[in-house]
Amino acid sequence: MKTIEWTFWQLADSAFPAGGFAHSAGLESAWRAGLVSEIGSLETFLRTRILESTQGIVAFLVAAHSGPDPLEQVDRWCDAFLSNHVANRASRAQGRAFLTAAEAAFGIAELGELRERVVDASLAGHQAPLLGRTAALLSLPCGRTVEWFLYTQLRDVVSAAIRLNIIGPLAGQSLISHLGRYVEIQAEQAVDRRVAEATQTSPVMELVATRHDRLYSRLFQS
């Protein structure tokens, strides 16, 4: 029987095809706007991104994992919260990709049913609620799930920074190590956050991210 640790390792592995590496979480747009140009400004961007997640989108993951409301309701709330069309589209795309990968990896019947509902558009299928529900089905603890989610966000943005040639791979690993404790602290604070408390903490990042579709050339989807 697989252990909880093994499942987390599998989910955190960059080979798990959850779709995150097709997105930069607004970094590409911020880089083109001159807001991120080197390791110092990249670290600021990463801290802001993690804080924004813990104050906002993580609440929907927690609600789908441990809350009393049905997944459909949490997914609708998440859809309303993500008013930025680029972020909304990215959340749906990553939700679908994660659900497909999780269904194939773990063979849970409910995941197949959820995928069919996303396909027929009866469920928006946002990333955070689907991750929360999947983690609950796998009996993964909520606190560790939040920590894993924030880690993958950090990892994926650092990967995007490397591909944009903002930093190199060694500097990227140094940043992940340096920000590890920050992610842990934010995860501890976010695990009890309710959907009613979800908020947008970085309007500048939000505005920059909305301009992604207007870039002349793009490496990422968001």
9-13 long-range contacts, Cβ below 8 Å, gap at least 24? 10/105, 11/148, 11/152, 12/148, 12/151, 12/152, 12/155
Is residue 201 included in any domain, yes or no?
yes
pLDDT at residue 2 in the model: 65
pLDDT tens-place string over residues 142-196: 999 999 999 999 999 999 999 999 999 999 999 999 999 999 999 999 998 899 9
Indicate the pLDDT class of residue 204, thresholds 50, 70 and 90. confident
Is residue 13 included in any domain, yes or no?
no
Is residue 157 included in any domain, yes or no?
yes
Is residue 152 included in any domain, yes or no?
yes
CA dihedral 14, 16, 19, 23 (to 10 degrees): -10
Six-digit token pair at 176?
């992940």
CA dihedral 186, 53, 81, 34 (to 10 degrees): 140
Number of domains into which the chain is organized: 1
pLDDT at residue 133 in the model: 96
Q: What is the CATH number of the domain that holds 177?
A: 1.10.4190.10
32-45 mean pLDDT:
94
- Mean pLDDT (the chain, rounded): 92
CA dihedral 57, 62, 64, 65 (to 10 degrees): 150
Is residue 147 included in any domain, yes or no?
yes
Q: Are 148 and 16 in contact (CB under 8 A)?
A: no
Three-state SS for 21? helix
Q: Which domain holds residue 46?
A: 22-212
Least confident residue range of 14-23, 80-89, 146-155: 14-23
Three-state SS for 194? coil
109-137 mean pLDDT:
93
Q: Are 176 and 158 in contact (CB under 8 A)?
A: yes
Is residue 16 included in any domain, yes or no?
no
Angstrom distance (rounded) from CA 60 to CA 78: 6
Is residue 217 included in any domain, yes or no?
no
Is residue 139 included in any domain, yes or no?
yes
- CA-only gyration radius of the chain, Å: 16
66-84 mean pLDDT:
94
Indicate the pLDDT class of residue 65, thresholds 50, 70 and 90. very high
Residue whose tokens read 């996303």: 118
